[in-house]
Structure 1
């Protein structure tokens, strides 16, 4: 008899647990959830100028060629270091053989070295570029958004995107007749921050340098945006 009583108690306990499962599952369901998206945008100035210069030459003696390229680059680096507003970054340097058309034998070597100049002071960099073009050639001139400007822009856009999301969430809540809402999750994504924007090339800059020692440069702006994607749960009356 005691064994039967214990078994009956276990069965009763199991039945009680099973009966409570639907209630637990119902509590875990979330109703009145809405996915929303809001976006904020602004025009941001491309305030960093990037100029890539290079020297290229060929010679039958690779050692002599390397020395010549090094001398040219060292002279340009020394000249560029005098301009404190400009940041210097040495780019790629490579050499490759030159073959004849008949026997595919090496007849010489060609070498190229790059110098990258960056600055928020456009007149200073333009002037320096003009001076360096007497010994170097221009590969391209780009414009980008400086890191500090980008961070400041993202901070401002984040606030605007949150405000836009809250306004849309309130609009949805009012439309459903809710008494309020809570944010379930919220994600942010930025778009529009450009890679360096190529503007002109060696011919354009050379023409500018011939006409004026410090040409004015207009980098323009980029429209950047931040989206706020999230889910809210509307609290009903």
Structure 2
């Protein structure tokens, strides 16, 4: 009100217009007009040099204790066989049991127990041979080939470098088309992961397969992708 008493009307209007032009909303709109958001992506192949297999035994019976002994005996024998393959890492994949109900669904007539093993190695030959031997008593739930952690990290680092270069190239294209220079305001790098090809096998254990041939495994490559989302500011 004091300003209104001492400034001419035209000067007051000009002062208000200037204040509004540099008010926070106006500054935010101007800043937004100078920024451009976009993304760039790159991928690199990673050798599937790590083989992972899931095997299991599943049996049913009326006596839970006897059933557990049978299943544990099969797993113990499989572990003893696997220990002869030094390059193969073996670990338990868990054990579960569930009741088996009769036709009317109200009475438990037995139990079903399942126990599994997880095998992991970079020696595909050893794993293939071991699976061939274990198929005499275990069923194969899944076999997959994927990059080992260090292999995947190396490919991700290379893809990150490629994605940054792609982002800079696109930023240069945008700024050049606008007749301006640019500076990077913000970058977000996300690892898109990988999709390894998988070989699925569901083979029921039987005595006929005791001397089955080694399972064929083929590695191939996985694509490791990296995406960069960023913001550049255009400069006059």
Same fold (TM over 0.5): yes
| Aligned residue runs from structure 1 range 175-194, under 5 A | 175-178=177-180, 180-194=181-195
**Contact 1:48 / 1:119 at 8 angstroms: preserved in 2?**
yes
Structure 1, unaligned runs of 5 or more: 1-6
What secondary structure is seen at the aligned counterpart in 2 of 1:111?
strand
Q: Is the alpha carbon distance of 1:62 and 1:82 closer, same or farther for their aligned partners in structure 2, counting shifts above 3 Å?
A: same
Q: Is the alpha carbon distance of 1:103 and 1:89 closer, same or farther for their aligned partners in structure 2, counting shifts above 3 Å?
A: closer
1:68 counterpart residue number: 70
Q: Is the alpha carbon distance of 1:39 and 1:63 closer, same or farther for their aligned partners in structure 2, counting shifts above 3 Å?
A: same
1:53 counterpart residue number: 55
Match of 2:107 among 105, 108, 111: 105
Q: Distance in 2 between matches of 1:81 and 1:41?
A: 38
User: What TM-score do the two structures reach when normalised by structure 1?
Assistant: 0.79
Q: Distance in 2 between matches of 1:79 and 1:165?
A: 52
- TM-superposed CA distance for 1:106, in Å, is 2.8
Q: Distance in 1 between matches of 2:167 and 2:78?
A: 52
Structure 2, unaligned runs of 5 or more: 7-11
Q: Distance in 2 between matches of 1:71 and 1:217?
A: 28
- CA deviation profile, 1:114-171 (whole Å, cap 9, x unmatched): 1111112111111111111122121221222322222111111111111111111112
1:143 counterpart residue number: 145
User: What TM-score do the two structures reach when normalised by structure 2?
Assistant: 0.79
Q: Distance in 2 between matches of 1:103 and 1:137?
A: 28
**Contact 1:87 / 1:119 at 8 angstroms: preserved in 2?**
yes
1:130 counterpart residue number: 132
- CA deviation profile, 1:163-195 (whole Å, cap 9, x unmatched): 1111111122222222x210111122332512x
Q: Is the alpha carbon distance of 1:22 and 1:101 closer, same or farther for their aligned partners in structure 2, counting shifts above 3 Å?
A: closer
Q: Distance in 1 between matches of 2:117 and 2:96?
A: 13
| Aligned residue runs from structure 1 range 1-237, under 5 A | 21-22=19-20, 24-25=22-23, 29-30=30-31, 31-101=33-103, 104-178=106-180, 180-194=181-195, 197-203=197-203, 210-211=212-213, 214=214, 216-236=216-236
Supply the RMSD in Å over aligned alpha carbons: 3.2
Q: Distance in 2 between matches of 1:56 and 1:41?
A: 41
- TM-superposed CA distance for 1:8, in Å, is 5.7
